[in-house]
Structure 1
Amino acid sequence: MPGFKSKIFIYTNSLEWGGKKKGKLTSPGKPDIEVSAPPEFSGHPGVWSPEDLFVASVNSCIMTTFLFFAQRQEIVLFSYESRAEGILERVEKGYIFSRINIEPVIYIGGENQTGEIKEIIKRSEENCLISNSIKSKVEVSPLIKQRKD
């Protein structure tokens, strides 16, 4: 692309095994995260798994991308909450996340903003760097509600 200027960002973390199937994930300036295999793979219940974090990374990327575009268009939001579900399937090559469903519930103030919100959701799906970096199909199904004062 003419005029395109590449940017590179580097993100790092460290992982220390703590025995059994648990570890401590660390990154400078951030809270530690205890991680484990999920219970389905003989891991520990109540501990974040790579599978949880994978689905959460898509969910949070969709949200932050949405908030970026909403702010640029000066949309007044009252709240954004989302639920994510990753479908893990065993295929010939092993287990894969075939699909990740994101269901945001977005409260807005103006009735005439519903169309703009739908467009921002579409742009968020197209521009989320995490979903653009994975093979899983990502589907975003928003519920847009009017805030009633």
Structure 2
Amino acid sequence: MTREHHYAIDLTWTGDDGEGTRTYRGYRRDHVLSAPGLPEIPGSSDPSFRGDPARWNPEQLLVASIAQCHLLWYLHLASTAGVVVTAYEDSPTGTMVEGADGSGSFREVTLRPRVTITADSDPEAAAAAHERVGAFCFIARSVNFPVRHEPVIVVEAAG
């Protein structure tokens, strides 16, 4: 059985300083992402492309989406495998390559999850769950570049 899920957001450009896009340097890249009942996300372009470094850019949000999806599927798979996760942190990175004409694409994203499990959990099962995530994560399955994993499993002291 196939199910469809639909997602809707609102995107509002807030960077018109009175002249619109009359010149390339004459407008800000600022915008706001919103959806009913959720906090707004202030966005801009990457500072390399005249964006505001105090706002999220699309490239960061793409890396964040992949990392969030991995986290959520990992917790599910660990739980079903009997692995008790007590902490999870990640410091993912993404590499985008820009062409001479200004176009670009991501080369890869690398996730570096540091997962803490209870002393009675199986570290091998915890590590294996990371490898299984790629088959389930909706976001990682939708991109056309590699998503790499460099997990660290920490086992709590028995006590």
Same fold, TM-score > 0.5, yes or no? yes
Aligned length: 145
How far is 1:53 from its partner? 0.3
Instruction: Report the structure number with the largest CA radius of gyration.
Output: 2
C-alpha contact 1:16 1:23 (8 A) present in aligned 2: yes
AA matched with 2:110: N
Q: For 1:99 and 1:66, locate their aligned partners in 2 and report how far apart those are by CA, in whole Å.
A: 20
How far is 1:110 from its partner? 2.6
Q: Which residue of 2 aligns with 1:17?
A: 13
- Pick the aligned partner of 1:8 from 4, 7, 11: 4
Q: Which residue of 1 aligns with 2:43?
A: 35
Q: Which residue of 1 aligns with 2:34?
A: 26
**Cα deviation code 1:10-38 (max 9, x no counterpart):** 01101111112101100111110000001
AA matched with 1:146: V
Q: For 1:109 and 1:81, locate their aligned partners in 2 and report how far apart those are by CA, in whole Å.
A: 16
Name whichever structure is richer in strand by fraction: 1
Sequence identity percentage: 26
Unaligned ranges ≥5, structure 2: 16-27
AA matched with 1:62: H
Superposed CA RMSD in Å reads: 1.5
Q: For 2:120 and 2:104, locate their aligned partners in 1 and report how far apart those are by CA, in whole Å.
A: 43
Instruction: Please give the TM-score of this superposition, normalised by the length of structure 1.
Output: 0.91
C-alpha contact 1:125 1:140 (8 A) present in aligned 2: no
Name whichever structure is richer in helix by fraction: 1
Q: Does 1:121 align with 2:130?
A: yes
Q: For 1:75 and 1:30, locate their aligned partners in 2 and report how far apart those are by CA, in whole Å.
A: 32
